[in-house]
Amino acid sequence: RKRHRDTIAFWSDADIDNSIVTDEILLLSMHGRDLEEDDKLVPTILRMFDFHDMNEVLEFASKVQGLIEDLPGGYDNPLLTMNAIATRSTYNYGTYGGHDDPTRRTKDSIIIGDGVLTFLIESGLESSGPDFVHAHEFGHHLQFQIVDNLISNRRPHEASFKDDDRKKELMADAIGGYFLAHDMGGDMVAADIGIFERTAFSTGDCSTSQEDHHGTPAQRECAAVWGASMAARAEE
């Protein structure tokens, strides 16, 4: 939680023209055990799928829970929460197209799954890996704001990266690396920088022909290294 507050403070201080709002971003967790509870699973199903009968929803939820219970570890299987995401407010333009009901406003958030933390711990990346994951997702929120500002200022051609998943991920890696290495940000030493570089490497994929390709392991690591090097240069 402190790292989250420090990240907000860092980027707020860097925003000299007050064009980027970061102080309303929530830090949330993702637990496999949440899927065991109907009052959490059912709203998720209703958000993701089109059902017209609540009995069908409850039947589907029961099937999902049955499948999960057959997994090794059941609801605690780390694959269920092996993700970290940045989500936008559902108000006005949000992640799923949004709505115009101010009474239903949900704040922007960063959601980090237990499975991600398990992976980092078991890979020996626990010292700064979680911080990098968080800084990376925070970078996506900066991207959201940058794109909004470019479009509102009639410069949409400069926001073309929003349609390129690889560019967005590499940019977020660089933003994360910059923050964590900066002496006014994470102020990490060389050993911890090396750990988060390995973390970036571990998030890459080799599906270069896929539209949702997020960058190869080497590209992800290079982006984080470049961001850290920019922080070192800024401090000279």
pLDDT tens-digit series, residues 151-197: 888 788 888 888 899 999 999 999 999 999 999 999 999 999 999 99
Other Cβ atoms within 10 Å of 66 Cβ, number: 9
What's the rounded Cα separation, in Å, for the pair 133 and 199?
A: 8
Secondary structure class of 68 (helix, strand, coil): helix
Q: pLDDT at position 235, please? A: 66
Q: How far is CA 229 from CA 51, 138, 177, 179, 222, in A?
A: 50, 19, 8, 11, 10
Of the pLDDT bands very low, low, confident and very high (cuts 50, 70, 90), residue 150 is confident
For CA atoms 127, 31, 167, 14, give the dihedral sign.
negative
Residue-averaged pLDDT of the chain: 89
Task: Tell me which residue of 123, 145, 128, 171 sits closest to 3, measured CA to CA.
Answer: 128
How is residue 179 written in tokens?
A: 């923050």
With a cut of 50, say whether residue 234 has pLDDT above it: yes
Task: Tell me which residue of 33, 132, 44, 46 sits closest to 80, measured CA to CA.
Answer: 33
End-to-end CA distance of the chain: give it in Å, rounded.
30
Task: Tell me which residue of 143, 136, 112 sits closest to 199, measured CA to CA.
Answer: 136
Of the pLDDT bands very low, low, confident and very high (cuts 50, 70, 90), residue 96 is very low
Q: pLDDT at position 61, please? A: 97
Q: pLDDT at position 94, please? A: 44
With a cut of 60, say whether residue 58 has pLDDT above it: yes
Q: pLDDT at position 24, please? A: 78
Q: pLDDT at position 141, please? A: 93
Give the pLDDT mean for 132-140.
97
